[in-house]
Amino acid sequence: MYRLTRLVIDDTILDAPRDAVHRRLAAGGPVAHKVAEGLDCYWCAGFWIACAAAAARRTRAWRAARYPLAVSACAGILADR
């Protein structure tokens, strides 16, 4: 979940989609504004990503993705030192 949360919040590869979502939510009401804030919050985004990962645990896609995500997370942590 760490790697997916970092991907959603920080990684530059998702800058364009993240900016598009923020622009779209900024045009919405107060609820949309709170959702946009949640997309920048590690606690908020991490919770929802963990819920999605827990729901996906038994799928083939998750089984295929979990090890590369774990290795990528370790590499990112080591690179940030």
* Alpha-carbon gap, residue 34 to 32, rounded angstroms: 5
User: Can you give the pLDDT at residue 36?
Assistant: 87
What are the Cα distances from residue 56, in Å, to 12, 60, 63? Answer: 25, 9, 9
CB 9 within 8 A of CB 45: yes
pLDDT in tens, the chain (81 residues): 889 999 999 999 999 999 999 899 888 888 888 888 888 899 999 999 999 999 998 898 888 898 999 999 999 889 876
- Vertex 55 angle, CA 53 and 60, to 5°: 80
- Domain positions in the chain are 2-79
CB 6 within 8 A of CB 73: yes
